[in-house]
Structure 1
Amino acid sequence: MAIRDDTADWASEEFAEASLGDARLSQRLVALARQLAISPHTSLPQALSPAELKAAYRFFDNDQVDTNGVLAPHIAQTLHRMEQLPVVLAIQDTTEFNLTHLHATEGLGRCTGGNERGFLMHSLLAVSPEGLPLGVLGMKTWTRAEATKGSAAQRKSRPVHEKESAKWIEGLAHLSALKSRCAQTQLVGIGDRESDVYELFAAERPDGVDWLVRAAWNRCARHPQRYLWQAVLDTPAAGYTELLIPARGARTLRTARLTLRYAPVRLQPPQTRAGLPEQNVFAVHVIEDEPPAGIEPLEWMLLSSVPTHSPEQALERLQWYARRWTIGVSR
């Protein structure tokens, strides 16, 4: 009985159509993907033989190989998978690569924490509402320059396109550009507290493209209570739910019992963005009732452009945001 090599089939389907200017490079990409897929949790030296590793380094060092060329066929396959679903979650997240130990490496920038050197990568991952990864939709890498001088107020007043925060708006714009290729699918961009950027709420987007973020700021709101948190907490509890919290570091797996509230809120722009219009958003708030001793209770304030008018819809937004754990664990 013949055994089907699913890994080989996957690698060919995802990358055989890569346009790298040389058919041999495309063949090398397929072979490399096939090899790495066997043990995706390991480093290149662990996953490849010495000869394969040398060939891989030659491949990545080739001037004709770039991120767009490698990802293009995979993105096309991802969009094809997305076409089969009514809703797809597009999760954005940033990863920092600390390469301080590679002293001879050039072109690195500063990272978090003192003298660390490396680069950053912002990814857009498509996931089904049930949590099935569908593929990468986009990826951006960059290095940080040395810290710029100036007060906190000066940094806040800078236009968003001059900040790293622009990555969230760029991610939503990239999602909007892809919408025509899966016209019948609702795309929901999802981001953590770092994505609580007012310009994101105000960004233009086509029908069928929405966003869902975790709030970081107690923004001003057009409400008798004046602020976001107070406006939502002023509403009666809509019910209770449970959420499985994955283990992380010393934190063990647990199930949290949460009190649920939701409400429409009209947000006002920050003083540094006074030229932007007020925005109607849908807020969903949950907080853990009785966390284990010594554990900070889980609390999420979620904001979304997706209409949310019932407990069932609020719970769905909560489950959508929980899919962020597919790309990175959030406290």
Structure 2
Amino acid sequence: PIVLAVGDTTYLDYKKILEKRDDYGPTGNGGNGLILHTSLALDPDFGQPLGLLWEKLWHRQHKPSPPPGETSTSKKKRLKKERLIAKNRAFKEKESYRWVEAFQKVNKLFKGLEMPDGGLLTRVIHVFDREGDIAEVFALQRKNKNTGVVVRAAHNRCLSEENSYLWEYVTSQEVQFIKEVELPETKKRKERTATLEIRYCPVSINPPSRLKKSGNFNVYALFATEINVPDGCEPVTWMLLTSELVTTQAEASQILRWYTYRWRIEEYHKILKSGCKAENYRLAGESMSTMLG
């Protein structure tokens, strides 16, 4: 059996409430609150939620106020230094590590179902959006038996094929078939049916220098681009990377379907906020973590 472990991050924004600064932090655009990363189990055939697998709740640190009378030159130097410090932080200390952590925590949940050879009785397929396009995710997947990933690509990675790059190489492949996909309503678009041209092929991704000992990541790429786009609508363009076999129309359609199920976790977060009113409780970080389970 297969279980989809769909991951996503959302913000619990308490606007400009400052009386609990020790437990809240900046969330962007002047917001103030907590950050929640969730891994939700879904049925692979119909995308029905099966249960909550793992959640992590944390907050960012408030940055100190700039020195009084700071000049524009001094500000540039200070910001440059801050960016350098952030860049050189250990990977485990970065927010992006949450995707690797989610992968590890979810797999640990299924360890009790291991087969004698170390594989999992249930195959867990992790489905991530662009934030989860991290080389460490592919390296980790390769080390874990009976697990897989479907990730929307965020980076135009270098391939081993004649020094080509992901987007240029995959988009140069022939269209294999055309498929209609239902797009749910979001803040930026209305619900509609999108007609997609589908291309797919195997690719060998060169690892970043920090993982050069890992060797190339041999995965399949699936590129879906919308045609006959309605007036005023932004066309859908998805570059998906997966550890799963994609050699037929049926296999490609399955990967595409699994990726569309990722919206279920956005619906879950919406229910937390609008239905359960999670942002109305204004609890401290530890208390909110207890409430969310």
TM-score (norm 2): 0.77
5+ long unaligned stretches in structure 1: 1-85
State the distance in 2 between where 1:325 and 1:112 align: 22
Q: CA deviation at 1:251?
A: 2.1
Aligned residue-pair number: 243
**1:319 and 2:257 are equivalent in the alignment:** yes
- CA, structure 1 residues 158+279, in 2 after alignment: closer, same or farther (shift >3 Å)? farther
State the distance in 2 between where 1:244 and 1:309 align: 23
Deviations 1:66-110 (A, max 9, x none): xxxxxxxxxxxxxxxxxxxx1111011111011134443341111
- What SS does the aligned partner of 1:258 have? strand
Could you list the structure 1 runs, at least 4 aligned residues long, displaced by more than 6 angstroms after superposition: none
- What SS does the aligned partner of 1:328 have? helix
State the distance in 1 between where 2:214 and 2:98 align: 19
Q: CA deviation at 1:117?
A: 1.3
- What pairs up with 1:165-176 in 2 under 5 angstroms? 165-176=96-107
What is the identity, as a one-letter code, of the residue corresponding to 2:60? Answer: R
What is the identity, as a one-letter code, of the residue corresponding to 2:129? Answer: D
State the distance in 2 between where 1:175 and 1:309 align: 28
State the distance in 1 between where 2:90 and 2:249 align: 37
Instruction: State the match for 2:126 in structure 1.
Output: 189
- CA, structure 1 residues 294+154, in 2 after alignment: closer, same or farther (shift >3 Å)? farther
State the distance in 2 between where 1:210 and 1:156 align: 29
**1:265 and 2:181 are equivalent in the alignment:** no
Native 8 Å contact 1:240 1:260 kept in 2? yes
Native 8 Å contact 1:92 1:125 kept in 2? yes
Deviations 1:267-321 (A, max 9, x none): 1123465454321111111000121112111010011111222121111000000
State the distance in 2 between where 1:199 and 1:243 align: 30
Q: CA deviation at 1:151?
A: 6.2
Native 8 Å contact 1:94 1:120 kept in 2? yes
2:53 to 124, 137, 149: 137
- CA, structure 1 residues 275+144, in 2 after alignment: closer, same or farther (shift >3 Å)? farther
Instruction: State the match for 1:89 in structure 2.
Output: 4
Q: CA deviation at 1:225?
A: 5.9
Native 8 Å contact 1:267 1:280 kept in 2? yes
State the distance in 2 between where 1:171 and 1:195 align: 10
Q: CA deviation at 1:155?
A: 3.8
- CA, structure 1 residues 225+239, in 2 after alignment: closer, same or farther (shift >3 Å)? farther
Q: CA deviation at 1:234?
A: 1.9
- What pairs up with 1:205-224 in 2 under 5 angstroms? 205-224=143-162
Q: Which has the higher contact order (CA 8 A, sep 6+)?
A: 2
Native 8 Å contact 1:156 1:272 kept in 2? no
Native 8 Å contact 1:225 1:231 kept in 2? no
State the distance in 1 between where 2:224 and 2:87 align: 29
Instruction: State the match for 2:230 in structure 1.
Output: 292
Native 8 Å contact 1:91 1:190 kept in 2? yes
State the distance in 2 between where 1:250 and 1:231 align: 30
Deviations 1:3-23 (A, max 9, x none): xxxxxxxxxxxxxxxxxxxxx
Instruction: State the match for 1:61 in structure 2.
Output: none
Moved more, 151-160 or 251-260: 151-160
2:240 to 295, 302, 327: 302
State the distance in 2 between where 1:168 and 1:250 align: 25
Identity %: 34
Instruction: State the match for 1:200 in structure 2.
Output: 137
5+ long unaligned stretches in structure 2: 64-77, 114-119, 268-293
Q: CA deviation at 1:146?
A: 3.3
- What pairs up with 1:1-331 in 2 under 5 angstroms? 86-106=1-21, 107-114=23-30, 116-129=31-44, 130-146=46-62, 150=81, 152=83, 155-182=86-113, 183-203=120-140, 205-224=143-162, 226-249=164-187, 251-271=189-209, 273-328=211-266
State the distance in 1 between where 2:226 and 2:82 align: 37
- CA, structure 1 residues 230+88, in 2 after alignment: closer, same or farther (shift >3 Å)? same
What is the identity, as a one-letter code, of the residue corresponding to 1:266? Answer: S
Deviations 1:151-206 (A, max 9, x none): 65664454321210100001111122122334422110111001111111111543
- What SS does the aligned partner of 2:185 have? coil
- What SS does the aligned partner of 1:327 have? helix
